[in-house]
Amino acid sequence: MDHKYPHEASSTVANEEPPPVPDARMVRTRAALHDALLALLEEKPFDQISIRDITARSGTGYATFFRHYETKAALLNHIATAEISALIGLSLPVLWSADTRTAARTLCAHVEARHTLWSALLTGGAAGLMRAEFIRQAAEIPPAQANPNSWLPADLRVIYGVSATVEILAWWLSRRDAYSSEQIAEILDRLVITPTLTRD
């Protein structure tokens, strides 16, 4: 028996089928392509990486790549979008929190737990693109939590806070063994968060 979605009740038969669930092979192939690009980004800039480099490193066929992504930029975007959204989601509570040190610790712990990925994104060959994407996403966030006592305009506060946070994290990831997440949380709190919360 076919299962129809309510909003598709008047669709043709061809449009009534639910979207296919990715099979295990597709999931494995995409994971291999993701891992390959991240590994290559640790070696050279994004614009010097070819699709053939990615498929050779991942052990997949050249034609196979295009069954998953149209371009290498599409692959990078797929990797980065969710991670950037998640990190911004953690960054905003830091900027609005009364307990800023605890919020900063939470953010740094998240990055430390995924340091291999974030090192590739923020200090590897795609670093410039990632910073631009952070700014783009941050600029689109409506200032719904504006603090009327803040001396900074709410939209500028978000853009500056996210940008500065990204720069500090990138600096830390390039020398992670020298600083603990607790030390970076303190730097983030004192250098970015507290100054933007200070009342005039």
Q: Which residue has the higher pLDDT, 168 or 1?
A: 168
CA distance 80 to 132: 12
For 150-156, which contacts have Cβ atoms below 8 Å and span 24 or more sequence positions? 150/196, 150/197, 150/199, 151/198, 151/199, 151/200, 152/196
The yes-or-no verdict on residue 122 having pLDDT over 70 is: yes
CA nearest neighbour of 65 among 55, 74, 57: 55
Please compute the mean of the pLDDT values over residues 35-62 and round it to a whole number: 91
Q: Give the H/E segment covering residue 178.
A: none
56-102 pLDDT tens trace: 999 999 999 999 999 998 998 888 887 888 877 776 666 666 678 88
156-200 pLDDT tens trace: 877 788 788 889 999 999 888 899 999 999 999 999 888 876 554
Query: So what's the pLDDT on residue 75?
Result: 92
CA distance 52 to 109: 35
Query: So what's the pLDDT on residue 66?
Result: 95
CA distance 171 to 35: 23
148-163 pLDDT tens trace: 556 667 778 777 887 8
CA nearest neighbour of 188 among 130, 118, 108, 88: 108
Tell me the average pLDDT of the chain: 79
CA distance 104 to 75: 30
Please compute the mean of the pLDDT values over residues 18-35 and round it to a whole number: 79
Q: How is residue 130 written in tokens?
A: 């990632």
Query: So what's the pLDDT on residue 134?
Result: 80
Comparing 17-26, 75-84, 127-136, the range with the smallest average pLDDT is 17-26
